[in-house]
Amino acid sequence: MPTLSGAGSGSVSASKLAESRKWLKGRVPREQLYLLSPARPRPKRVGAVEFPERVRHVIRAWWAWLAAALALQLSGNLPWAIGAGIIAFFQYHTAARTHPAVYPLEADLDVCSAEFQNTIEGVTGMPFVSGNHVAIYNNGDEFYPAMLDAIESAEQSITMEQYIFWDGEVGRRFAEAFAEKARRGVHVKLLLDAIGSSTLGKEIFRILAAGGCQLAWFHPIHWYTLHRANRRDHRKSLIVDGRIAFTGGAGIADQWLGSASDAREWRDIQVAIAGPGALAQQSGFALNWLETTGEILSGQRFFPDLRPYLSEDGGVKVQTILSSPVLGLGAAGTMYLAALQCAKRELLIANPYFIPDSRAIAMLVAARRRGVVVKLMLAGEHMDLSWVRQIGVRLYGRLLKAGVEIYEFRPTMLHQKTMLVDGMWATIGTANFDNRSFALNEETNLCFHDRSIAKKLRTIFSADLERCDRVDLDEWSRRGLWSRITEQCASLLADQA
């Protein structure tokens, strides 16, 4: 029998060697798996999914429709089988593929502490950057002139990543500003979402082309790109020379003109930062521009060596949340949930598309039980998407019963996305409080761990609150049967809202 010679202890037979290789198919004995490991207490899961929601999950599941299609095919119902197969195909390509956070942070983590700031940096992977000047603008009469002034000041480059760029007075004015700078030798690169900006129009396109601007479309729809069709670029970033960056809720369209005085003038907020923090938005643009065009941005014209903005207090620290589904976990959703969990005194949220899942509802209810004052300012009757409003209204009950104050903006469509926690931490950006922003879209939010910024936002929130109607629990409970039916039907589309 062949043997394998050892170094000094005789030999080992081939059969013994083969015996030693049983690890190829073996497992650790069950009694050894956890016997010596440290005790692991089971964490409490946030947001138990109740039976009606489980039913909705099954109805929205692609595999359920595929199973139905196969069953119908086997039973000889070919037309119905084809219909079920089409729905399964749609659901498969539009479902969010993320691993949501279901276990909370420690609730005793104080938002005002450096520990909270470090935690937000750690869980999102995005640092706070010091030395910035920050300006907050209310409504189009303030932020459009500021954006156009910044464009006029450009010397090297202008980049814009935009979900909505529509034909109209505002669209043409921005197109002319871009074209004029391009003619003067400034590099102008525009990345537009192929669905959100599909109504750009021939005139604006002609103005941009004549000026020498570059324009790329994010994820245009073709039969061979359906697997990515549901991932949209919802960012609204304008970056000038890599030094000044704007973002917020507003696109480039006429409904943002004015001062939110009537239903034709949407209410919104934009924020501008000047300083090192602007480079993060440029980085977000560069990554999506690379994916779309294959071009790598480089050099001082796009990525300058920025000095901190100098002021008596050293400038403002800014964290830029670049949320993207390609990472498998939406950083915007993680940021929102972490802040909800750690609120101690006051939680103020303004958001037009507010569709919290069971986790967020549980966190808001838990915040009220901790004594936190929770105020939600949401879009009212002027909501542009009525079916999205119906989904949100369906969820009011549990929040109202817990003591959460819900207000609906009365004069026009409320479109800003802000949150303020304990008068210290604040965020302004593009992310809505819904599954689409958390799991499907490219989003940008700026976060501030700064009392002065928080104070400004609280003043703005309080002024807007005076133009709202508070939702009453008894009145909500008396809404009609038809409203309840339409809400339940609309809820089947909650994952796409």
What are the pLDDT digits (tens) for 261-305?
999 999 999 999 999 999 999 999 999 999 999 999 999 999 998
Q: Please check the confidence at residue 52 and state whether its pLDDT lies above 80.
A: no
CA distances from 368 to 52, 349, 375, 399, 400 (A): 24, 14, 10, 9, 10
* Under 8 Å between Cβ of 248 and 143: yes
Residue 480 or residue 40, greater confidence: 480
Place of tokens 């034709």: 264
Per-residue burial over 71-84, b if 16 or more Cβ lie within 10 Å, else e, is ebeeeeeeeebeeb
Query: How does DSSP assign 335-356, residue by residue?
Result: HHHHHHHH-SSEEEEEESSB--
Contacts 24+ apart (CB under 8 A), 60-65: 60/91, 60/95, 60/492, 60/495, 61/91, 62/88, 62/89, 62/91, 62/92, 62/95, 63/88, 65/91
CA distances from 231 to 108, 193, 434, 442 (A): 36, 10, 14, 8
Read off the DSSP letter of residue 416.
Answer: -
**Percent of the chain, pLDDT > 70?**
83
Give pLDDT, residue 42. Answer: 65
* Under 8 Å between Cβ of 435 and 252: no
Q: Where residue 2 falls among pLDDT bands split at 50, 70, 90?
A: very low
Residues 292, 269: Cα–Cα separation, whole Å? 28
* Under 8 Å between Cβ of 351 and 438: no
Phi, psi for 65 (deg, rounded to 5): -70, -35
* Under 8 Å between Cβ of 409 and 266: no
Lowest mean pLDDT among 15-19, 218-222, 383-387: 15-19
Lowest mean pLDDT among 13-27, 160-174, 462-476: 13-27
- pLDDT tens for 230-264 read 789 999 999 999 999 999 999 999 999 999 999 99
Give pLDDT, residue 6. Answer: 45
Read off the DSSP letter of residue 266.
Answer: -
Name, in order, each residue with C-beta under 8 angstroms of 109's C-beta and a sequence gap of 6 or more. 115, 116, 119, 341, 342
Residues 322, 442: Cα–Cα separation, whole Å? 7
Residues 373, 346: Cα–Cα separation, whole Å? 5
* Under 8 Å between Cβ of 321 and 124: yes
Listed residue (421, 463, 430, 460) closest to 135, CA to CA: 460
Q: Please check the confidence at residue 157 and state whether its pLDDT lies above 50.
A: yes
Average pLDDT over residues 414-425: 96
CA distances from 9 to 5, 21, 95, 154 (A): 9, 20, 61, 79
Residues 273, 306: Cα–Cα separation, whole Å? 13
Residues 114, 129: Cα–Cα separation, whole Å? 14
Residues 164, 252: Cα–Cα separation, whole Å? 6
Residues 190, 133: Cα–Cα separation, whole Å? 25
Give pLDDT, residue 97. Answer: 59
Place of tokens 């079920």: 84
**Percent of the chain, pLDDT > 90?**
55
Average pLDDT over residues 86-111: 69
Average pLDDT over residues 82-110: 71
Give pLDDT, residue 146. Answer: 98
Give pLDDT, residue 347. Answer: 97
Q: Where residue 28 falls among pLDDT bands split at 50, 70, 90?
A: low
Read off the DSSP letter of residue 225.
Answer: G
Average pLDDT over residues 220-233: 81
Element spanning 55, H or E: helix 51-60
* Under 8 Å between Cβ of 476 and 400: yes
Q: Where residue 472 falls among pLDDT bands split at 50, 70, 90?
A: very high
Query: How does DSSP assign 462-475, residue by residue?
Result: HHHHTTEEEPPHHH
Q: Where residue 122 falls among pLDDT bands split at 50, 70, 90?
A: confident
**Residue 331 CB-half CA count within 13 A:** 26
Q: Please check the confidence at residue 172 and state whether its pLDDT lies above 90.
A: yes
CA distances from 264 to 167, 285, 349 (A): 16, 31, 23
Residue 390 or residue 157, greater confidence: 157
Give pLDDT, residue 7. Answer: 45
Q: Where residue 99 falls among pLDDT bands split at 50, 70, 90?
A: low
Listed residue (403, 414, 396) closest to 464, CA to CA: 414
- The encoded tokens of residue 399 equal 């929040």
Q: Where residue 371 falls among pLDDT bands split at 50, 70, 90?
A: very high
Q: Where residue 13 falls among pLDDT bands split at 50, 70, 90?
A: low
Lowest mean pLDDT among 12-16, 67-71, 357-361, 405-409: 12-16
Give pLDDT, residue 453. Answer: 95
- pLDDT tens for 314-342 read 689 999 999 888 765 578 888 888 888 88
Give pLDDT, residue 1. Answer: 47
